[in-house]
Amino acid sequence: MVNTVRLQFWADSFHEGFWACDEIGKHFSVLSIVYEKGFIPVFRFALKEGLELEVMVLGSYKNWSPLPQPIAELIDWGKPDLIVFDPVSNSILMAVEETAAVPTGNQALQRCERMYGSLRRKIPFWYLLGEFGTHIDGGTRRDSIWPTVLGIKLSCAYKTPCMVLHYSDLAHPEDYAFGTGLASLFLALAIKIKIFFGIEKNAAFYPVLEEQYRHMFNFINSQWRNVVDFLPQEQLLQDPTIPQVIAKFVSGSDPEASVPDLFAWPNTPALPKEIYQNISPGGWIKDDQFVRGLEVLVEKKVAYNLSSNAGSKPQKTQDVSGWISEQKNILQRQNNGNYPFEIDIKDFPKSASGLLHVTTAKNVLYLIDSSEDAAKTLITAFPRLKKFSFPENGSAFVYISNSLKPGRIFGDPFTGQLSAFANIFGRDIRGKNIRLRIAYYPHQVHAQLFDKTNNFRMNKGITIMRELLDFAVFHGGVVVNMQNGQIV
């Protein structure tokens, strides 16, 4: 007598689901492949004597109806390339994101909102990407550390695996056949399936996770110096016991495991001496009163940036002009001109090629020792705020998005940046908030957050902002309390 259990592999394309089945076939024998309705692949695997697994591949999410509710909710945060789904329990076993290119610059943080979107629902998440890639200029690039740092922090905060694995090597950039990531990913999936159907115990997952966390720590250890000047607790990256502790904690084999504080960026007095001494303002491109104030805090060494390599992407004059009009219209429509609107195209400096810079600060993130200083800086920049203060004094971060196009801040790459920065710098390894979380949108009007009844609108970007920010500062110094919607 043969029993059959069933899973569905939902995927962005049929190829990705088929590919996953092919890879799983390296762990379980493939008994047959048939195509329902002439195109829907159904794989049959031998799991063990008397137990077979049927996997149906459903490619391209948008083409299926009804979408199971857990899948619909997850893909609202960006479509993972693969979702392993159990139709019986209506639950997701794991989600996989994979990318063929090595993301650089802003792109490196693009998928971070998917990581957060999955983890906030405690859905295990794997991100497979190239460690080495060929840039458009022909040079070789190596992956950023931020998704990997985020993966470790989210894993511990939500006690759920959030893994970043790499394929390729220096000699074979962007090549899936090299590096350990591909094999490691599908080993994890095979073990997960075995555990799910009772063939293995939960403990079987622990060594896989340990190995994968070890890869993540080794990667950060070998790469962080190319990305930032300073990485807190960097000595722990080489401690061989840390991946073990985290794997035990996350896999549940030791839920009380003592996870040390990791990646906890301190206030300026606790910075290494040479880093503290070298704190210096990075400057700005387009003048902005609040940014000037933040730069003063850096000058005084009571705030710092992580690095000073942010670039600027100048925009066409016509686009800038159109976006300014749109922002003005949104503000007037929603608020009858009750809030200041002073965005003027003359204030946007011209680039060498005649386009207009929208970038204010050259750094998009400031870590500030005292939120009181941040409040005073806001009042100086925007006198209308008068006696404004934050609820309690503590450290803070200010994340800046200079985007001018209406609605743009609710999508990639800004929601990805916010997901990464707020979780990495705003929370400790256990997920506890450690900084007041402030975002500054100098070219966006706050009215975009609200519907006609002055309640928060519903979209992914606003959900992320409400979950990961305490305050958002919009054009003209309009401060919105993101927890209760109160406008200052």
- Write each residue from 134 to 173 as x if it is in contact with other proteins (CB under 8 A), else as -, in one continuous string: --x-------------------------------------
Q: How many angstroms separate the CA atoms of 189 and 27, rounded?
A: 10
The burial class, CB within 10 Å (0-12 / 13-18 / 19+), for 229 is middle
Nearest-approach distance from CB 155 to other proteins, in angstroms: 25
H helix or E strand, kind and range, residue 300: none
CB atoms inside a 10 Å sphere around CB 158: 21
Pick between residue 15 and residue 333 the one whose CB is nearest to other proteins: 15
Nearest-approach distance from CB 37 to other proteins, in angstroms: 5
Task: Report the first-to-last Cα separation within the chain, whole angstroms.
Answer: 69
| Single-letter amino acid code for the residue at 362 | K
Stretch that binds other proteins, among 8-16, 235-243, 266-274, 347-355 (CB under 8 A): 8-16
The answer to whether 447 and 331 are in contact (CB under 8 A) is yes
Q: How many angstroms separate the CA atoms of 285 and 357, rounded?
A: 7
The burial class, CB within 10 Å (0-12 / 13-18 / 19+), for 154 is buried
Pick between residue 19 and residue 410 the one whose CB is nearest to other proteins: 19
- The tally of CA atoms less than 13 A away on the side-chain side of residue 199 is 16
Choice from 3, 4, 15, 454 touching other proteins (CB under 8 A) = 15
59 near other proteins (CB under 8 A): yes
Choice from 7, 9, 16, 186 touching other proteins (CB under 8 A) = 16
Q: Of 448, 453, 485, whose CA–CA distance to 327 is shortest?
A: 448
Stretch that binds other proteins, among 33-41, 151-159, 239-247, 413-421 (CB under 8 A): 33-41
What letter does residue 293 receive in the DSSP assignment? H
Choice from 1, 2, 50, 65 touching other proteins (CB under 8 A) = 65
Q: How many angstroms separate the CA atoms of 400 and 323, rounded?
A: 18
Stretch that binds other proteins, among 57-65, 272-280, 298-306, 318-326 (CB under 8 A): 57-65
99 near other proteins (CB under 8 A): yes
Nearest-approach distance from CB 247 to other proteins, in angstroms: 28
Q: How many angstroms separate the CA atoms of 476 and 372, rounded?
A: 20
Pick between residue 72 and residue 345 the one whose CB is nearest to other proteins: 72
CB atoms inside a 10 Å sphere around CB 269: 9
225 near other proteins (CB under 8 A): no
Pick between residue 42 and residue 199 the one whose CB is nearest to other proteins: 42
Structure tokens at 268: 């300026």
Choice from 2, 49, 50, 66 touching other proteins (CB under 8 A) = 66
37 near other proteins (CB under 8 A): yes
67 near other proteins (CB under 8 A): yes
Q: How many angstroms separate the CA atoms of 184 and 27, rounded?
A: 12
Nearest-approach distance from CB 408 to other proteins, in angstroms: 21
87 near other proteins (CB under 8 A): yes
Nearest-approach distance from CB 17 to other proteins, in angstroms: 10
Pick between residue 64 and residue 450 the one whose CB is nearest to other proteins: 64
Pick between residue 100 and residue 270 the one whose CB is nearest to other proteins: 100
Number of residues counted as binding other proteins (CB under 8 A): 31
The answer to whether 405 and 344 are in contact (CB under 8 A) is no
Q: Of 374, 412, 365, whose CA–CA distance to 392 is shortest?
A: 374
Pick between residue 68 and residue 314 the one whose CB is nearest to other proteins: 68
Structure tokens at 68: 């199971």
Nearest-approach distance from CB 176 to other proteins, in angstroms: 5
Structure tokens at 301: 């060494």
124 backbone φψ class: left, alpha, beta (φ>0; ψ -120 to 50):
beta
191 near other proteins (CB under 8 A): no
60 near other proteins (CB under 8 A): yes
Q: How many angstroms separate the CA atoms of 182 and 169, rounded?
A: 12
Choice from 27, 70, 93, 176 touching other proteins (CB under 8 A) = 176
Pick between residue 40 and residue 488 the one whose CB is nearest to other proteins: 40
Q: Of 113, 16, 110, whose CA–CA distance to 74 is shortest?
A: 113
Stretch that binds other proteins, among 34-42, 248-256, 268-276, 476-484 (CB under 8 A): 34-42
Tracing tokens 């979408």 back to the chain, one arrives at 67
Residues that bind other proteins (CB under 8 A): 12-16, 19, 35-41, 56, 58-60, 62-67, 81, 87, 98-101, 136, 176
